[in-house]
């Protein structure tokens, strides 16, 4: 069946919750209110590294309206964290490791009282030596941030595939370059929030802004030593996450603890300053060495990355893994070596952010490929075509590409923009740049990674889809509804979706690693097809046909060769319940890819994803040589995300990726003072792109249906973003001939580089 045959797949569909969001009916965590609800606030350490000797909350507790104060000593359980091998957080701490690390929390009748109470809590600190630079933190004698980790190395990953040294000996040209990618904030529209309630039987319920409700439950039951059956976590509407809401945060632990202590509902909503000071993208120093033959064939590549983890581990293991893994997706590299280190420092924590470790090395590698192309006199697009991965390839590390249209992506993107002609333009201060990338459709490297969906058909033909997958604004609920609509032949208006509730939905690992459509979609298809099979059997009896000849379309169920023999879907639903002797029409689906392997612990070899996406991005920019200002004129994307499910959602993902990439390339940078304190924790000082800075984006869909993805779909959430930054950087070089290797590319850096270029060119 091709896309033209589909009723809902590949068609523009509004989000099923779009009207609720547009009218304000959708309830985010901050909108939720319960009777007798208290307000909570966290007290952060003013020191980057300090042991809490004592907390005196007597004055705060004496304040009218204050109901409770809790500290790190009140947390009864064990440390928690994203990975079992790196659990290093407690929610509230007895040893502060960055400025703002929460040491206490207060519950009061309103926000004003809670804020006043924070000022009345007296904390006696033993100030400890601090370290803020990862290179310094690795040195012998540096302050130890977590006792378990020698030289503060929280994660180190090493790949050595092929024979890198032999590969370099075969090369005709080798480059070695250093790059630096700065730290930036997720800058989600909605700050983090949580509402906790404890009923008289001791059952706890949390409504929270999260990407991973099952992980939040796992961590809190560990930290507070409570049974899993006594905690329910419900994902409220989420106003953006981008990886920043994938972890469990101190406010969630504190709110639960305070609700238990007071016996009243309690809500904590982060201020913008608190929101920015929770998680960030890891800054990375990247050394890149690449060798090629005269024809541009890449023979060997080596990367060494040093990343700042901040005060806690978060997703450090996966980040370091991804940083090396994704380098091997877009191009054929027969010999590859990688050393990645993530280091604790006394600064705010780094963690997952859209692209999760792939963005920083992609910036370095794609910039260097352009530099190599210039060195050997080759067109940058031709260099990438020469090395592009192909369908059926297995990389030297074991990644297998069951679908891949990267070459087509390069060819159609360059043709669309008039690449050859624009590359030849001189003296206009306008430039064009290219970059390619690839990404996983859910990395299966540890723990529970399957997804599940249950589908219930009601007696009137309405359908409820119950999925563990978390919609955080990307529209996954709508995608699941489209799959069900296509299978059962009913409109989206007849489908409702219940998602991400640890009490009522199947377990799901969360929304990250671009896995939701791929995993959750396949689980939903299995559930829908189980329902369809059940109902088709009854329809065959009623219509005197065979079940395999029954078609579901346009709210009718009919015989394929004789559509006049039909029954309305709602009537069939009622009949199915009756003829099944009251049996409910419920389908269940659980799915994880079967073509993956956990990477070998020693060799790291393994196919970690069921499929991989590919993309080419071409940026056109204009540089003002008087001011150093860069204007992005247009972005063209050749995208291989397999079968497009909803063109509106896909375009939204592309536009969002471009906006975030422009911010990373040109504007955004978190700044820290000498004591590790964040100096620009607001959207006034931390500049993000507005609509005025975002150019027109042309999206060219070049993919073919993937054999494993649901209806042939692959990821599009993260794979596009990782190519935006290097495409812009390469376009700037093409425009004015200066190469900036340290992000962000500010006007000051461009003007300085132009001055240095003029001095070099003087006779």
pLDDT of residue 232 exceeding 50: yes
pTM reported for the whole predicted model: 0.97
Q: What is the rounded CA–CA span in Å between residue 581 and residue 438? A: 51
- pLDDT for residue 614: 98
**Share of the chain residues as helix, strand and coil, in percent rounded to the nearest 5:** 35, 25, 40
Q: What percent of the chain has pLDDT over 90?
A: 95
My answer on whether 617 and 484 are in the same domain is no
Q: What is the rounded CA–CA span in Å between residue 54 and residue 51? A: 9
pLDDT, tens only, 418-438 = 999 999 876 689 999 999 999
Domain boundary residue among 542, 571, 591?
A: 591
- pLDDT for residue 577: 85
Q: Is residue 205 part of a domain?
A: yes
pLDDT, tens only, 577-626 = 888 666 789 999 999 999 998 888 888 999 999 999 999 999 999 999 99
761 pLDDT tier (thresholds 50, 70, 90): confident
Q: Is residue 139 part of a domain?
A: no
Q: What is the rounded CA–CA span in Å between residue 551 and residue 669? A: 55
My answer on whether 459 and 536 are in the same domain is yes
Domain boundary residue among 591, 609, 627?
A: 591
My answer on whether 103 and 243 are in the same domain is yes
My answer on whether 392 and 496 are in the same domain is no
> What is the mean pLDDT of the segment spanning 121-127?
98
Q: What percent of the chain has pLDDT over 70?
A: 98
My answer on whether 607 and 695 are in the same domain is yes
The string of DSSP codes covering 15-69 is -TTHHHHHHT-S-BGGG---TT-EEEEEEEPSSSSEEEEEEE-HHHHHSTTEEEE
pLDDT, tens only, 126-166 = 999 999 999 999 999 999 999 999 999 999 999 999 999 99
Q: What is the rounded CA–CA span in Å between residue 45 and residue 532? A: 57
Give the orientation angle of helix 724-736 with respect to helix 747-761, to 10 degrees: 40
> Among 49-53, 375-379, 424-428, 445-449, whose mean pLDDT is lowest?
445-449
CA 256 to chain centre: 26
pLDDT of residue 193 exceeding 80: yes
My answer on whether 309 and 291 are in the same domain is yes
My answer on whether 723 and 614 are in the same domain is yes
A 10 A CB-CB count for 428 gives: 10
Q: What is the rounded CA–CA span in Å between residue 555 and residue 215? A: 38
Domain boundary residue among 541, 573, 591?
A: 591
| Average pLDDT along the chain | 96
Q: Locate all alpha helices (DSSP H) within 328-402, ordered by sequence.
A: 359-376, 380-387
Q: Which residues neighbour 658 within 8 Å (Cβ) at sequence distance 6 or greater?
A: 635, 694, 695, 697, 720, 724
1 pLDDT tier (thresholds 50, 70, 90): very low
Q: What is the rounded CA–CA span in Å between residue 238 and residue 164? A: 45
The tally of domains found in the chain comes to: 3
> Among 4-8, 18-22, 136-140, 626-630, whose mean pLDDT is lowest?
4-8
- pLDDT for residue 411: 98
Closest CA to 177 of 740, 761, 725, 755: 740
- pLDDT for residue 201: 94
Cα distance from N-terminal residue to C-terminal residue, the chain: 67
My answer on whether 702 and 728 are in the same domain is yes
pLDDT, tens only, 654-675 = 999 999 999 999 999 999 999 9
Boundaries of domain holding 714: 281-444+599-761
Helix or strand holding residue 622 (H, E): strand 612-623
pLDDT of residue 693 exceeding 90: yes
Q: What is the rounded CA–CA span in Å between residue 129 and residue 726? A: 38
Q: Is residue 258 part of a domain?
A: yes
My answer on whether 331 and 414 are in the same domain is yes
> What is the mean pLDDT of the segment spanning 557-573?
97
Q: Is residue 705 part of a domain?
A: yes
My answer on whether 424 and 543 are in the same domain is no
């Amino acid at each position: 069946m091709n896309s033209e045959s589909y009723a809902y797949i590949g068609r523009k569909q509004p989000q099923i919750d779009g009207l609720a969001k547009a009218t304000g009916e959708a309830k985010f965590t901050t909108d939720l209110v319960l009777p007798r609800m208290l307000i909570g606030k966290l007290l952060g350490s003013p020191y980057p590294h300090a042991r809490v000797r004592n907390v005196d909350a007597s004055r705060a507790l004496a304040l009218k309206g204050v109901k409770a104060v809790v500290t790190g000593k009140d947390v009864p359980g064990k440390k928690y964290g994203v990975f079992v091998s790196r659990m290093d957080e407690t929610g509230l701490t007895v040893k502060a490791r960055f400025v703002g690390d929460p040491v206490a929390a207060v519950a009061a009748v309103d926000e004003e009282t809670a804020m006043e109470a924070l000022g009345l809590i007296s904390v006696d600190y033993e100030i400890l030596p601090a370290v803020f630079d990862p290179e310094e933190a690795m040195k012998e004698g540096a302050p130890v941030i977590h006792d378990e980790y020698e030289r503060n190395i929280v994660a180190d990953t090493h790949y050595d595939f092929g024979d890198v040294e032999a590969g370099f000996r075969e090369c005709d040209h080798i480059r070695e370059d250093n790059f630096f990618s700065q730290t930036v904030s997720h800058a989600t529209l909605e700050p983090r929030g949580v509402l906790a309630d404890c009923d008289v039987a001791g059952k706890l319920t949390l409504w929270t802004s999260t990407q991973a409700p099952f992980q939040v439950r796992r961590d809190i039951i560990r930290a507070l030593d409570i049974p899993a059956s006594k905690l329910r976590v419900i994902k409220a509407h989420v106003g953006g996450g981008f990886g920043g809401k994938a972890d469990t945060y101190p406010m969630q632990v504190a709110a639960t603890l305070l609700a238990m202590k007071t016996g009243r509902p309690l809500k904590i909503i982060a201020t913008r300053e608190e929101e920015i000071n929770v998680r960030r993208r890891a800054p990375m120093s990247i050394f890149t060495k690449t060798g090629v033959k005269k024809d541009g064939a890449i023979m060997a590549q080596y990367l060494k990355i040093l990343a700042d983890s901040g005060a806690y581990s978060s997703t450090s293991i996966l980040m370091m893994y991804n940083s090396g893994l994704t380098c091997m997706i877009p191009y054929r590299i027969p010999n590859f070596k990688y050393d990645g280190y993530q280091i604790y420092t006394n600064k705010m924590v780094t963690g997952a952010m859209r692209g999760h470790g792939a963005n920083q090395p992609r910036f370095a590698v794609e910039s260097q490929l352009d530099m190599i192309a210039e060195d050997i006199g080759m067109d940058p697009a031709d260099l990438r075509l020469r090395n592009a991965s192909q369908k059926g390839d297995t990389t030297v590390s074991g990644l297998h590409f069951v679908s891949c249209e990267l070459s087509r992506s390069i060819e159609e993107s360059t043709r669309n923009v008039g690449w050859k002609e624009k590359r030849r333009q001189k003296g206009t201060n306008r430039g064009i740049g290219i970059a390619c990338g690839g990404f996983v459709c859910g990395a299966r490297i540890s723990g529970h990674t399957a997804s599940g969906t249950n589908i219930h058909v009601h007696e009137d033909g309405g359908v409820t889809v119950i999925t563990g997958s978390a919609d955080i604004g990307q529209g996954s609920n709508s995608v699941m509804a489209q799959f069900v609509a296509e299978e059962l032949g009913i409109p989206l208006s007849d489908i409702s979706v219940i998602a991400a509730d640890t009490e009522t939905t199947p377990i799901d690992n969360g929304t990250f690693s671009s896995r939701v459509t791929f995993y959750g979609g396949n689980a939903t298809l299995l559930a829908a097809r189980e329902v369809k099979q059940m109902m088709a059997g009854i329809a065959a009896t009623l219509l005197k046909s065979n079940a395999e000849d029954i078609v579901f379309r346009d709210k009718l169920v009919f015989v394929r060769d004789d559509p006049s023999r039909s029954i309305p879907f709602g009537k069939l639903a009622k009949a199915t319940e009756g003829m099944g002797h009251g049996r409910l029409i419920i389908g269940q689906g659980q799915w994880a890819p079967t073509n993956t392997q956990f990477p070998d612990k020693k060799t790291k070899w393994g196919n970690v994803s069921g499929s991989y996406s590919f993309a080419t991005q071409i940026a056109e920019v204009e540089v003002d040589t008087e001011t150093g200002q860069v204007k992005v004129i247009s972005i063209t994307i050749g995208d291989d995300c397999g079968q497009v499910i909803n063109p509106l959602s896909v375009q939204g993902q592309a536009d969002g990726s471009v906006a975030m990439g422009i911010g990373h390339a040109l504007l955004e940078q978190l700044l820290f003072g000498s004591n590790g304190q964040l100096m620009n924790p607001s959207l006034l000082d931390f500049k993000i792109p507005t609509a005025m800075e975002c150019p027109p984006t042309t999206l060219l869909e070049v993919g073919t249906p993937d054999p494993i993805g649901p209806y042939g779909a692959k990821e599009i959430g993260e794979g596009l973003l990782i190519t935006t930054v290097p495409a812009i950087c390469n376009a700037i070089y093409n425009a004015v001939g200066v190469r900036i290797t340290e992000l962000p590319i500010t006007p000051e850096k461009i003007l300085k580089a132009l001055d240095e270029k003029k001095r070099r060119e003087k006779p």
